[in-house]
Amino acid sequence: MTHHAAHAQPGVLSDPTTFAEYLTFTLVDTPPANAFADVAGSIVGIEKSIRQKDPTSNLTMTLGVSHNGWSRLLTDHEMPGELAPFQAMSDGDRTFPSTAGDLFCMIKSERMDLNYQAAKYLKQALSGVAELIEDIQGFKYLDNRDMIDFVDGTENPIDDERAAAVLVGHEQPLVSGGSYLTVQRYVDREELWDAQTTEDQEKTVGRTKMDNVELDDDVKPAWAHNAKSKVEENGEEVMMFRQNRPFGNAMEHGTMFVGFARSPEVLTTALRQMIIADDNGDYDRLLDFVEAVTGTNYFIPSRTFLDQFVG
């Protein structure tokens, strides 16, 4: 068992829910003094009031703060040691853009209507502090599939292994119980994806489509997504926890990549392995079929940290 002095925000560790809503805010030019108290108070208050309308909805609101957001709102608090802006990356015709975001809120629950209501209240509550620049509604598709029709999240850590992968430990008291988050919104290139045979799609992901079984090493290509995204250090896998959800509709759709880790290094390493072609020219083939349109890094402070701001 891992013990953490501070309590994590519950949405960090819980499984992805049926519905999720992802809000990205940028700060206004001159936020009022103590604006972070408004932010923390709004998150905690709105979560409580909406959740109690239907406790079975399991609604949680998880707040993230980017490097820019922290340096402007939390000047009296030391910056989390590894919080850095998302670095854009590119190789060949593949790009990971770095996009704006000072505050991020992930709303999770079993009810899309309650998520929407929470989003609406938060936008109103933060109107003098931050502007809502993106609002993406995600949902569980079939048996946790992405809209490229493969099951997503299978190899995620669970229970204690999840907590160990995701939460900063008490050896870093200022940030313990917190987590680092990378968010990227990807849009599917549906026609290209659908033009592949099922067998080629399976090689691209590294798993079978219907049964969701990992391909054997002798059939799995070096460029399979689950080969390129897996990070190892001294022969040990370094884990992250992905809470991806698909979003969109028949006209445009894709995946919200929502990856948590106790150190952002695993996220950055995975992204580099995916996008940069290796000596054999191999990169993550999935990137031929999906396009990253956003990219932002956040720190997810512990609930204990937020509570000090809540009256």
Catalytic residues: 152
Q: Smaller CB distance to ligand HEM: residue 129 or 224?
A: 224
Whether residue 152 contacts residue 140, with contact meaning beta carbons closer than 8 Å, is answered with no
Q: Smaller CB distance to ligand HEM: residue 171 or 191?
A: 191
Whether residue 209 contacts residue 201, with contact meaning beta carbons closer than 8 Å, is answered with yes
Q: DSSP 3-state assignment of 229?
A: coil
List phi, psi (to 5°) of 22: -115, 115
Q: DSSP 3-state assignment of 103?
A: strand
Q: How far is the CB of 133 from ligand HEM (least distance, A)?
A: 21
Q: Smaller CB distance to ligand HEM: residue 54 or 214?
A: 214
Q: Which residue lies nearest ligand HEM, judged by its C-beta?
A: 155
Binding site for ligand HEM (CB under 6 A): 146, 148, 150-155, 184, 186, 205, 207, 225-226, 229-230, 240, 242, 255, 257, 259, 267, 270-271, 290
Q: Which of 232, 227, 71, 240 is nearest to 153 (CA)?
A: 240
Q: One-letter amino acid identity for 58?
A: N
Q: Which of 145, 274, 285, 290 is nearest to 220 (CA)?
A: 285
Alpha carbons 73 and 79: distance in angstroms, whole number: 11
Please state at what angle helix 35-51 crosses helix 112-125, rounded to 10 degrees.
Answer: 150
Q: Smaller CB distance to ligand HEM: residue 116 or 141?
A: 141
Q: Smaller CB distance to ligand HEM: residue 148 or 168?
A: 148
Those residues with Cβ within 8 angstroms of residue 81's Cβ, 6 or more apart along the chain or in another chain: 172, 175
- Dig out the tokens for 55 from the structure: 């406790």
Range list of β-strands (E), 47-140: 60-65, 89-91, 94-96, 103-109, 130-139
Whether residue 125 contacts residue 230, with contact meaning beta carbons closer than 8 Å, is answered with no
Q: Smaller CB distance to ligand HEM: residue 54 or 291?
A: 291
